Structure 1
């Protein structure tokens, strides 16, 4: 027996060694894999342990919507700690492995360069990956990738790099953005690198978008969106969420309305799409960070509401059937489940609800099942990236309560697991679409029933600069019976630089709103000194006909008309205000076109629209108040010299929720600027920062509660390695920043409160602090 164990150990060691080389790994044929997933029956869960379960056994622990099955695509040692993936034109998954994430409860060795980008391949075409190639290694916490042209974008905080690809190996490396993920911790840094319908690359937890033109990378501001994961619908509108919110998204296409930095929020962007945050795990889930708090777990220790919502996916595949064409799935790794939502359109609005009450699309009784990302796939299925780890909460916010739960069930080890699954209908064959290099065939695929295929065909035509496809694209634009084909042909022509004015004008006059919407969305790319006059009569017609769907788009477009013709831009703006006086979308869109012109426009507005109760007056007053507050704020460079550690800590820990200007972030946290909790009693402030605060909370006369803010502010005092001096500096920094002018906090004051509260296990309530 000992000899057999030695042989097995030697085999496993050799196998793992080969996993670290660039040579492909060949796995044995997967003939033993079951054809269908057996639906798991509810079982009594042993809360004393959570052992690692073999992949095929783990599938048996899942309950999935009747009519569907879960199939294994890859597992350890072929893949380890996956957090994201993308597919190439051969339908091969390129996977991001974040191996360094939280090796233990204090994050020991998290800065080691052990992350990888790997290519998986199914060489025998049985649906299971059997080959692994390491494309990049020695990365520190990589988090996102995007294939584009002959290379790949790789997000390795704090930077974003572009690597050329030669025979599946990295070539020339180019720095695209040195500040892609500057500041924030692992949970609060940009991610996604989602290549959208409009040919720009968008991110969650970011206000930047990227585009490659020739050898240059363009970086532009966009709306700040979400936390982890990002997706789009068939019309190119983006969807995302925060850890406690089911689904957020945009009513408008993503490239508009982010031109005024003084405007903190633009109506129609970062909207709550599904307000219901309830979750229904099939196992008790005591291992959540705030499980000690009332209302987090129910009487049977099941999570009540989202606490780690992520990876929203608008399902655009063609395998599930038409009843799933309006489905948006959201992962919840803390509760080991995937939720299904159903969305619908009501004019400009997009609203939704949960598909089921009391159950989920997919749930597992395996605590280590951690679905952290979801993707549409080349075969029309839905891919699930399972990090398969015990610890998913970062050390910055890891409570003593959760540390105890981790220790109780020995969740720290092992660190080398990871699975990728796909969900498919039972007894339905799925076949991955591999895309041809022929440009005319790619044009045909722009109308494919699978959204992944449409997107990839568009990207390949643009990446290949396929000018020979232009005649076929122009022809596709004429087939109005196939709206998806027309939309993708439109944006492909935009990407190639061959879109014609007449084509856009024709679409603008289409009775089908989605086609008109795309034509309005593409206008910033085609409005020039030579062409803009051709569009003005159509714009005026929209306004005269009181087209409320087109009106916000027209208001956004003023910022593109204005540089070409000041008079035309001014007239268009005034006509929109007069025609849509109560439309908040039009009002905010107009204000978005007025950077540094707000006060001048306010005087003009009073002259031609004197009724100060109009929504545009109300919105404009708020923006001007923000501008005046910003002018009165202190110079951050001065404070940086006085409190260098505090400034750095604010950037990495506080800024992502409270905003760089201290005025809070909608849906996350209230303002620090002018907050009585910041400038008031030091002991209260120290207590909040050390151990957190449970809302609602009143700041400057306004009661902040969910969904306006996240219900809870996490504390940082659980991190024993965090020095009292650093905490004192960050508190002193925020007490002196912006318009705050309170005295600084000393290291001794922090030490005293920390000592008094050393037995503290949970966040404070306002009532506790006021005692």
Structure 2
């Protein structure tokens, strides 16, 4: 274990910067306690972006008045951090993605230099001063999760579990060999977020995980987000994509993902904040599409999100009440952190940006790259700053951005990284001590800091504290602290100690949030004997036309079906009669019908014959998708014919266009049946090489933001990419699914490449029409 004192840390930081830049830099102060008005008019030198020591970098930040930014760790104690988690001793476990983009072509990115390290503040001055390498020799690690006596580590393409013995790795177990299969660094699963319902969820993935003794359970869930994931006090998940401020779920995360034929379930992957405007405090020419009209404003500042990530629902107890459950979003390309205010209107969550024309935090330091945000054991907000020049991955790096990187010498150094915390000015942020005592941990389930509640729940379950069961059952009766009740409920679920009468009591609570928690826990407790006690309550909720509980009841039908088919059918019919025009209930019903949609449609004609009803329209859409999929070609044949093309599609195209080629909502339009895919080869080659800026019409529908990203990046900026590989991926998509166009040759790709060798920007459909 290496120890550093703060004064030595600053000295080493300056020394390393000097070695990399040959320019001595001077530490010039600490964080301003309030916003620095000089930053509004400070002239930024766009010819250089020097590395600044951490304290000087803080002085370049403009933070919301009443807050200050404090340093927790900086190089050489930490390098290229991308994710963190806290253990029950308040130590920071940090994922270091050391070899991410060593230069503009990613030279040596596959060298195993990534690490998981443990940082600790042993002298209690607020700054970490010891570093212990827990794991090294990893290739681009991206997420971790502490659970029981070990830690999950995501190292693409796999997910591993390491036992921990005296803060050192023990036995290694493969949990999922295909955790991050396909995609590239920007589009691979991450997060490993341990939620209220005791399952572990991810961004950019449709799987969830749970440890069950020595085994790991893996289940299908909704595909969510891109980088970073968080939850609110009710266990609902929030996430985003790089161009979308905030997305989220209206319902508990473990429900409604049981029908593979259903592409979208209302209430999941919803736009919570539709406003994607950003307000940098400096010109930001160094963004990937800075050459395009509308990307930068007249002052060369980014207009809309282009790298939104790391969302955090603030659940700490250090900020005042106006910040409770606000959602903060990082934007590393614009060097800022946004604040969103969320409002619940029964089931539906909507939000707006906190301020017109400014941000919660912004910096004039181009190397400030916030990529993840976290609540901490002290109630503060923690910021993970990769602190580097290159943030865009080579797969999508445009010639324009390469030139910007060269202008300001942004490639080096590669060994920087900072972790900050944001606290109210003058407040003493002190971590809560988590005792190894069952009774005290139960009390902490009602703590005002959400991190403390979550950790207490996890410790009780991980430690298998069955001795806490009586106290937990007593906590379920608390009428003054609903958060305590919710965490006690899920802790009992995690310990396998919930009883039927306890759940039915909560199902009858007047507070709808309590009812929905009880409904969400039912899949864990419904059995052949217990379901008869729950059934009358469920029937009453539907009969009373409880529109808040009804979607949850519908989601439960697959769990109830094997226990009592007749009762399930009757409950489904009653839901249809009472809620046939409710999109949330109808989609919940459809989510339970996998491979029985057409049979149910015949039954539905008698229950709700009006074709204009939401349930009829949505069901018909799903059936149309099923019929379309039946006409698709055998993917195994295409894989054999175009092995490189299939691999490239999985790496570069599938994450946005979907494995079925039918597009992904909020990201990209369909390739299956697209006239742009099956039509003129030269236009398709041009699009794939240099990208396409929307809107774009496909099969008679005009796709534009926010329905799609609005900007498809090209792959032709990589001069080392062989023409044969481009030809293969184009041939693969032109002959996949129901497409039946002829192949593309390497020579055809080479010809277009030569004709467009000076091009540096994406095409528009108007430009393509002239080719």
Deviation at 1:559, TM superposition (A): 1.1
Question: In structure 1, what is the Cα distance between the partners aligned to 2:31 and 2:714?
Answer: 47
Question: In structure 2, what is the Cα distance between the partners aligned to 1:528 and 1:632?
Answer: 40
Question: In structure 2, what is the Cα distance between the partners aligned to 1:407 and 1:371?
Answer: 22
Deviation at 1:36, TM superposition (A): 5.5
Task: Tell me how many residue pairs correspond in the alignment.
Answer: 747
Query: Partner of 1:682 in structure 2?
Result: 681
Equivalent pair of 2:32/2:59 in contact (CA under 8 Å): no
Question: In structure 2, what is the Cα distance between the partners aligned to 1:541 and 1:627?
Answer: 34
Equivalent pair of 1:37/1:71 in contact (CA under 8 Å): no
Deviation at 1:35, TM superposition (A): 7.7
Per-residue CA distance 1:67-103 (angstroms, 9 max, x = gap): 0000000000000000000000001110000001000
Q: The residue matched to 2:48 in structure 1 has which SS?
A: coil
| 1:429 aligned onto 2:428 | yes
Question: In structure 2, what is the Cα distance between the partners aligned to 1:109 and 1:649?
Answer: 20
| 1:180 aligned onto 2:204 | no
Question: In structure 1, what is the Cα distance between the partners aligned to 2:683 and 2:748?
Answer: 11
Question: In structure 2, what is the Cα distance between the partners aligned to 1:544 and 1:656?
Answer: 42
Query: Partner of 2:767 in structure 1?
Result: 768
Question: In structure 2, what is the Cα distance between the partners aligned to 1:169 and 1:146?
Answer: 15
Per-residue CA distance 1:743-770 (angstroms, 9 max, x = gap): 0000000000001001001000000001
Question: In structure 2, what is the Cα distance between the partners aligned to 1:33 and 1:46?
Answer: 20
Query: Partner of 1:263 in structure 2?
Result: 262
Query: Partner of 1:738 in structure 2?
Result: 737
Query: Partner of 1:5 in structure 2?
Result: none
Equivalent pair of 2:340/2:354 in contact (CA under 8 Å): yes
| 1:632 aligned onto 2:627 | no
Per-residue CA distance 1:98-135 (angstroms, 9 max, x = gap): 00100000000000000000000000000000000000
Query: Partner of 2:100 in structure 1?
Result: 101
Query: Partner of 1:694 in structure 2?
Result: 693
Q: The residue matched to 1:192 in structure 2 has which SS?
A: strand
Question: In structure 2, what is the Cα distance between the partners aligned to 1:356 and 1:738?
Answer: 46
Deviation at 1:582, TM superposition (A): 0.8
Deviation at 1:609, TM superposition (A): 2.1
Question: In structure 1, what is the Cα distance between the partners aligned to 2:535 and 2:640?
Answer: 52
Query: Partner of 1:497 in structure 2?
Result: 496
Query: Partner of 2:345 in structure 1?
Result: 346
Equivalent pair of 1:37/1:59 in contact (CA under 8 Å): no
Cα 1:37–1:418, aligned 2, differ >3 Å: closer, same or farther?
Answer: farther
Equivalent pair of 1:38/1:60 in contact (CA under 8 Å): no
Question: In structure 2, what is the Cα distance between the partners aligned to 1:46 and 1:501?
Answer: 66
Question: In structure 2, what is the Cα distance between the partners aligned to 1:680 and 1:33?
Answer: 61
Question: In structure 1, what is the Cα distance between the partners aligned to 2:704 and 2:131?
Answer: 48
Query: Partner of 1:724 in structure 2?
Result: 723
Query: Partner of 1:114 in structure 2?
Result: 113
Question: In structure 2, what is the Cα distance between the partners aligned to 1:418 and 1:490?
Answer: 40
| Range with bigger deviation, 100-109 or 432-441 | 432-441
Query: Partner of 2:323 in structure 1?
Result: 324
Query: Partner of 1:310 in structure 2?
Result: 309
Question: In structure 2, what is the Cα distance between the partners aligned to 1:34 and 1:405?
Answer: 30
Query: Partner of 2:536 in structure 1?
Result: 537
| 1:465 aligned onto 2:464 | yes
Equivalent pair of 1:88/1:94 in contact (CA under 8 Å): yes
| 1:755 aligned onto 2:770 | no
Deviation at 1:12, TM superposition (A): 6.1
Question: In structure 2, what is the Cα distance between the partners aligned to 1:648 and 1:430?
Answer: 49
Per-residue CA distance 1:453-506 (angstroms, 9 max, x = gap): 000000000001110000000000010211000000000000000011111000
Deviation at 1:607, TM superposition (A): 2.3
Equivalent pair of 2:33/2:65 in contact (CA under 8 Å): no
| 1:190 aligned onto 2:228 | no
Q: How does 1:410-429 map to 2 (within 5 A)?
A: 410-429=409-428
Query: Partner of 1:46 in structure 2?
Result: 45
Question: In structure 2, what is the Cα distance between the partners aligned to 1:160 and 1:109?
Answer: 22
| 1:275 aligned onto 2:269 | no
Query: Partner of 1:169 in structure 2?
Result: 168
Question: In structure 2, what is the Cα distance between the partners aligned to 1:415 and 1:556?
Answer: 48
Q: The residue matched to 1:133 in structure 2 has which SS?
A: strand
| 1:452 aligned onto 2:424 | no
Equivalent pair of 2:34/2:67 in contact (CA under 8 Å): no
Equivalent pair of 1:698/1:704 in contact (CA under 8 Å): yes
| 1:581 aligned onto 2:573 | no
Deviation at 1:543, TM superposition (A): 1.3
Query: Partner of 1:475 in structure 2?
Result: 474
Deviation at 1:39, TM superposition (A): 3.7
Q: The residue matched to 1:335 in structure 2 has which SS?
A: coil
Equivalent pair of 1:686/1:750 in contact (CA under 8 Å): yes
Query: Partner of 1:706 in structure 2?
Result: 705
Cα 1:33–1:482, aligned 2, differ >3 Å: closer, same or farther?
Answer: farther
Query: Partner of 1:572 in structure 2?
Result: 571
Cα 1:32–1:669, aligned 2, differ >3 Å: closer, same or farther?
Answer: closer
Equivalent pair of 1:326/1:344 in contact (CA under 8 Å): no
Deviation at 1:517, TM superposition (A): 1.2
Equivalent pair of 1:231/1:240 in contact (CA under 8 Å): yes
Q: How does 1:212-227 map to 2 (within 5 A)?
A: 212-227=211-226
Cα 1:293–1:158, aligned 2, differ >3 Å: closer, same or farther?
Answer: same
Q: How does 1:577-656 map to 2 (within 5 A)?
A: 577-656=576-655
Query: Partner of 2:527 in structure 1?
Result: 528
Deviation at 1:540, TM superposition (A): 1.4
Q: The residue matched to 1:74 in structure 2 has which SS?
A: strand
Q: The residue matched to 1:522 in structure 2 has which SS?
A: helix
Question: In structure 1, what is the Cα distance between the partners aligned to 2:64 and 2:28?
Answer: 24
Q: The residue matched to 1:351 in structure 2 has which SS?
A: strand
Query: Partner of 2:127 in structure 1?
Result: 128
Equivalent pair of 2:34/2:66 in contact (CA under 8 Å): no
Question: In structure 1, what is the Cα distance between the partners aligned to 2:163 and 2:219?
Answer: 23
Query: Partner of 2:5 in structure 1?
Result: none
Q: How does 1:229-248 map to 2 (within 5 A)?
A: 229-248=228-247
Q: The residue matched to 2:556 in structure 1 has which SS?
A: helix
Q: The residue matched to 1:334 in structure 2 has which SS?
A: coil
Question: In structure 1, what is the Cα distance between the partners aligned to 2:740 and 2:354?
Answer: 50
Question: In structure 2, what is the Cα distance between the partners aligned to 1:262 and 1:253?
Answer: 21
Q: The residue matched to 2:286 in structure 1 has which SS?
A: coil
Query: Partner of 2:291 in structure 1?
Result: 292
Equivalent pair of 2:83/2:142 in contact (CA under 8 Å): yes
Deviation at 1:629, TM superposition (A): 1.0
Question: In structure 2, what is the Cα distance between the partners aligned to 1:326 and 1:244?
Answer: 22
Question: In structure 2, what is the Cα distance between the partners aligned to 1:694 and 1:67?
Answer: 41
Deviation at 1:433, TM superposition (A): 1.1
Cα 1:432–1:32, aligned 2, differ >3 Å: closer, same or farther?
Answer: farther
Question: In structure 2, what is the Cα distance between the partners aligned to 1:199 and 1:295?
Answer: 44
Deviation at 1:539, TM superposition (A): 1.1
Question: In structure 2, what is the Cα distance between the partners aligned to 1:543 and 1:380?
Answer: 40
Per-residue CA distance 1:353-385 (angstroms, 9 max, x = gap): 000011000000000000000000000000000
Equivalent pair of 2:232/2:325 in contact (CA under 8 Å): no
Query: Partner of 2:548 in structure 1?
Result: 549
Question: In structure 2, what is the Cα distance between the partners aligned to 1:366 and 1:345?
Answer: 36
Per-residue CA distance 1:628-666 (angstroms, 9 max, x = gap): 111110001001111000000000110000000000001
| Range with bigger deviation, 553-562 or 452-461 | 553-562
Per-residue CA distance 1:501-526 (angstroms, 9 max, x = gap): 11100001111111111001111111
Per-residue CA distance 1:33-69 (angstroms, 9 max, x = gap): 8586464322100000000000000000000000000
Q: The residue matched to 1:124 in structure 2 has which SS?
A: coil
Per-residue CA distance 1:670-698 (angstroms, 9 max, x = gap): 00000000000000000000000000111
Question: In structure 2, what is the Cα distance between the partners aligned to 1:111 and 1:491?
Answer: 41
Equivalent pair of 1:97/1:117 in contact (CA under 8 Å): yes
Q: The residue matched to 2:587 in structure 1 has which SS?
A: helix
Structure 2: state its 5+ residue gaps.
Answer: 1-7, 17-26
Equivalent pair of 1:36/1:71 in contact (CA under 8 Å): no
